[in-house]
Structure 1
Amino acid sequence: MGLPFLKTPKAALPIEEAKQVPIECPFDGEPNLPPEKSAIRFWILSFGTCLGLFLSIIDSSIVATALFTIGNDFKDLGAINWIALAYTLAYLGCAVAFAHVSDVIGRRDAFLLACVLFFAFSMASGFAQNIHQLIALRTIQGIGGSGLYSLTMVILPEMCPPSHLKFIGSLIGIVIALSGVLGPLLGGALTQFTQWRWIFWINGPIGVVSMTIFLLAWPSKAQHNPPSRLQWRNFDFFGTTLIIAASVLVVFAFQSAGETSRNIFSSSVFIAPMTTGLLCWGGVFVWAFLVESRKFGAGLVPALPFKLFRNRHYTSAALTTLLIGYPYLQIIFTFPSRAQIVSGKSVLVSGLELLPLIGGSALGSVIGGCGLLSTVQGKADDAKALGFLVFAGLGFGLSTAAATMLVTFEAAIADAASAHGILAQMRILGGSIGIATATILLRNRLTDVSEGHISTNVEENGAVAAGLAYSSAFRAGMKVCSILSGIAVLVSMLGFRRTRMDMNEQRAKLFREEEIRRANERPQ
């Protein structure tokens, strides 16, 4: 059907006249829909959409404080990390895929599909009878969660009135920060006062509310003129498969090596998946280039548009997001364990101690926060650690908001879904590698402390030995996070623009470019 601002082809205007070009969005061009109602409808839709986003992110960390409880309940502590990792691998692997699917079946139907997968298999996870069932169900739940994550990044900028675009980045950043930190807190509370199964059951009723609000607020065809849909014959199945394999195999290599071997870089469980994953990443970019240049796969729309990475501003945002995701998720997963093992805190208190990360995320520097956290040692440093969390969260919150806004104003209209999907996948990929490397560091420290004997049960190593291992592994992890955060600062400078455009001017430029593209595609 086309975008509402593309009803007739127009000649491109000079850049100097951009400020005089009216900016329209799916709400603004409709004569039967008053602007006030458009804004109200958008914010109601945002609430339903962000509620789904909140739940999808919270489920990546809500089990962090309950892993030992679940493992003890199933009498299998050896595989507890896979309860979190199964969700995370599926979550990171399918972000781009879901964004690409939405170009075919539409944003609304794709979001509803993600909701059904996420909420149905979340409820099913609560009824799991053994740890292997739970891991399998969490994997499918992660596929749905991936769609909720990436499609929120696509839907909100598309449905937003132009006057509200400046709020989108901050809104998404706050939701990501709140959900990431509240996950361990809620997980700890539910585990301590009820039972761990409510971690998954609670998503059911909240999910119904999210879907209901989303459906009621979604504009009808008379009120909303959605972007043109692709056909399934244009869907890039091969490129999508390569992206999933590349993301999953790299993280799988780190996690498997950390659980099985001291000499990780020479073990086959690391070398084989890592090599295959890196080859797949190379294949992703080669395939994207071939499809874009029409040398292969004629008629296909690449899942990863190669032209996005010709834009240094977008490339800077993607790489920065990858690097910043590493320390953020590592902190969320390792800090509660440190609080429980080193400081002897309860499950609930270990979750509460992540609250300073919320304040910091909403308002500094990740490099400063991680560097300060690397100085934290024993129980006596607990108060200092809470203060340092504020700085780490502050940096993540600012970088998330900035990256989201940058994509909204840098990516071409036709590539918006893929651009947001790639950014979402980079954030989760970086965080997943961070969690996996934390496992490696802990395993190595446990080996050092126990003189070669490694046990999957903390109690068998002794409380003192385990505390030393966890404390040492946490400090080592924060040093790595500091280095990567410093690199992220340097990479972010690639996105600096000497000549500035205001938001209306930049959006007008993107709209005119889309007009020209579609006019050129029409048969003469």
Structure 2
Amino acid sequence: MKQLGFQGTQSDFDGQPGVNSLSNLAVIDPVIPPWRFWLLSVGVCLGLFLSLIDSSIVATSLYTIGADLGTVDSVNWVALAYTLAYLGCAVTFASFSDVVGRRNAFVIAYVIFFAFSLACGFARDLPQLIAFRALQGIGGSGLYSLSMVILPELCPVELRQYIGSVIGLVITGSGVLGPVLGGILAQYGSWRWVFWINGPVGFLSLSIFVVTWPKADRLPVFRKRSWRDFDYIGSLLVIAASVLVVYAFQNAGEAPRVVWGEAIFIVPLVVGVLGWAALIAWEYMASVRFGNQFSPVFPIRLFRNRAYTAGAMSTLFLGYPYLLLIYSFPLRAQVVSGKSALIAGIMLLPMLGSSALGSAISGRINAQKNFLWETLLVGACFMTLGVGLSTTISEADDDPRALGFLTFSGLGFGLSTAAATILVTVEAPLQDQAPAQGILAQLRVLGGSLGISTSTIFVHAETRKHLSGILTERESVMLGRDGNALSRQKWEAIHVAYSEAFRKGMISAAVVSGIAIFLTLSGYRHGQRESRNRRREPLQAEEPN
């Protein structure tokens, strides 16, 4: 067997016509100077940070936004519109970059995100804001998935041990800092700066990215995919399947009554599940019929690799407790413990610190030897431990214990996120690196979106149970934020409702992360200890016998 490789041009990498006639990626290790790569990484990571932080920064500003725009009905859609668009397009953007090139795709995603971030800040009413947030989410989705592709792809060999740690740190840091920054901006400024802040930071990030993009002879090279090769059907199916499943649960959570047996829940859920089945069937049929002449958006051949499958499933199931914590813990801190939006966000900082530590540890121990399976398993165990212990939290006096439990969850998420990012560079064939990273990005957001929806379901269920007949509809929404004082009896009922909602959310998170442990165990392979710096063979040809 021998590996095929070739030198290419800038046009090969940026999606213009090139000289390569190979059907798959044929990579030579990039020779970017370390200083240039780290500068490029600043531009990429700032874009990744902004795209991620915008999914959580509004968590502590929603009611402020609703009050300012004159309505609190459907204000949660300000967060959900971004999340659904973000969720739907991650894999599609990764495949899109195979056609137009990594640099061009990243710039396009940034321009979309930048433009509609500013538009959100100028929104005059809630429907307009929700529409702009959905369009902003499309750009954010591209920044997210393409960051996962570009950084491992361009990283020099000697720096690959740090990439998983860097990406893991940005992911966890953005999730935790989002509510903090949102609280600061909401408390000391206008909620509109939650969106306008993306302007100057985004301009700086994009400028760094464009200026530090390497020259042609320092880029890995792959054959340009044409628009004819693009998987239009697969892209449509993965967007529809992902969005409809989350939409069904979010609708159930926001409904004023129980709707589990009604069409508003059943129809989008069934169509979404059928969409996933149709996606798998289509990708299988297309791979059989078209072979290497087709660029699948969701290559099912990746899931024949047990290690990759375990990493992908772990990513899906650990995304659920992570984002559930990000959204539900600040809410509990504000309502039950009486903290301000700023302090509620700051209380997540122990989770950030432990996540950073977990990401660093994961990158270090997998620098030379492949301990990715063990890292994923330990990460899932720590997450399960953290959310499991959090089920014991009830009163405001439990806050110190809660902060300690958050560190376990953060450590678990940092370990698993960095390991999953590294795992793609080791396990996925090089022609599938972009969709493989895109799939992980999609699954992480899918799991997290379901976690947010579940949090909404528990909050609405418990408030209906404990607050009906005690609070008016407006009082149950505003919780005293409109200046109207609530009686002690009403506050006691509110504390019970929100404490119980948080406890049930943590129980569901413990169950889901426990499933992640089981799925990670299924990916064990005896004797798999090769250096993680050795990439999977990209393309091989049989030598004559």
Same fold (TM > 0.5):
yes
Deviation at 1:167, TM superposition (A): 1.1
Task: Give deviations 1:459-496, integer Å, cap 9, x for gaps.
Answer: 38843322221111000000010011111011111222
Partner amino acid, structure 2, of 1:154? V
Find out whether 1:101 has 2:104 as its counterpart. Answer: no
Contact 1:361 1:398 in 2 (8 A): yes
Deviation at 1:7, TM superposition (A): 4.8
The whole-number CA distance in structure 2 between the counterparts of 1:54 and 1:373 is 27
Contact 2:238 2:279 in 1 (8 A): yes
Matched residue, 2:57: 62
Q: Secondary structure at the match of 2:124?
A: coil
Contact 2:63 2:478 in 1 (8 A): no
The whole-number CA distance in structure 1 between the counterparts of 2:387 and 2:108 is 38
Q: How does 1:239-258 map to 2 (within 5 A)?
A: 239-258=234-253
Partner amino acid, structure 2, of 1:370? V
**Aligned pair in 2 of structure 1 residues 299, 224: CA closer, same or farther (>3 Å)?**
closer
Q: How does 1:176-187 map to 2 (within 5 A)?
A: 176-187=171-182
**Aligned pair in 2 of structure 1 residues 498, 275: CA closer, same or farther (>3 Å)?**
same
Match of 1:164 among 159, 164, 169: 159
Contact 2:243 2:272 in 1 (8 A): yes
Contact 1:93 1:248 in 2 (8 A): yes
Partner amino acid, structure 1, of 2:177? L
The whole-number CA distance in structure 1 between the counterparts of 2:273 and 2:117 is 32
Unaligned runs of 5+ in 2: 9-25, 358-380, 481-485
Deviation at 1:505, TM superposition (A): 6.8
Find out whether 1:398 has 2:415 as its counterpart. Answer: yes
Q: How does 1:369-448 map to 2 (within 5 A)?
A: 369-448=386-465
Find out whether 1:489 has 2:489 as its counterpart. Answer: no
Contact 2:154 2:220 in 1 (8 A): no
Contact 1:27 1:38 in 2 (8 A): no
The whole-number CA distance in structure 1 between the counterparts of 2:195 and 2:271 is 34
Partner amino acid, structure 2, of 1:246? A
Find out whether 1:305 has 2:325 as its counterpart. Answer: no
Aligned length: 491
Of all paired residues, the percent bearing the same amino acid is: 51
The whole-number CA distance in structure 2 between the counterparts of 1:396 and 1:289 is 32
The whole-number CA distance in structure 2 between the counterparts of 1:448 and 1:454 is 14
Match of 2:183 among 164, 188, 199: 188
Q: How high is the TM-score relative to the length of structure 1?
A: 0.90
The whole-number CA distance in structure 2 between the counterparts of 1:226 and 1:430 is 33
Q: Secondary structure at the match of 2:55?
A: helix
Deviation at 1:24, TM superposition (A): 7.6
The whole-number CA distance in structure 2 between the counterparts of 1:506 and 1:493 is 24
Deviation at 1:400, TM superposition (A): 0.3
Q: Secondary structure at the match of 2:260?
A: helix
CA RMSD of aligned residues (A): 2.2
Deviation at 1:163, TM superposition (A): 1.4
The whole-number CA distance in structure 2 between the counterparts of 1:485 and 1:183 is 23
Find out whether 1:27 has 2:47 as its counterpart. Answer: no
Deviation at 1:396, TM superposition (A): 0.5
The whole-number CA distance in structure 2 between the counterparts of 1:437 and 1:211 is 35
**Aligned pair in 2 of structure 1 residues 233, 484: CA closer, same or farther (>3 Å)?**
same
Task: Give deviations 1:211-250, integer Å, cap 9, x for gaps.
Answer: 0110111012233243211000000100100000000000
Contact 2:27 2:221 in 1 (8 A): no
Matched residue, 2:526: 498
Q: How high is the TM-score relative to the length of structure 2?
A: 0.87
Q: Secondary structure at the match of 2:393?
A: coil
Matched residue, 1:11: none
Match of 1:354 among 339, 348, 353: 348
Match of 2:541 among 505, 516, 524: 516
**Aligned pair in 2 of structure 1 residues 264, 39: CA closer, same or farther (>3 Å)?**
same
Task: Give deviations 1:229-286, integer Å, cap 9, x for gaps.
Answer: 1000000100100000000000000001111154332121110000000000000100
**Aligned pair in 2 of structure 1 residues 297, 252: CA closer, same or farther (>3 Å)?**
farther
**Aligned pair in 2 of structure 1 residues 261, 489: CA closer, same or farther (>3 Å)?**
same
Matched residue, 1:134: 129
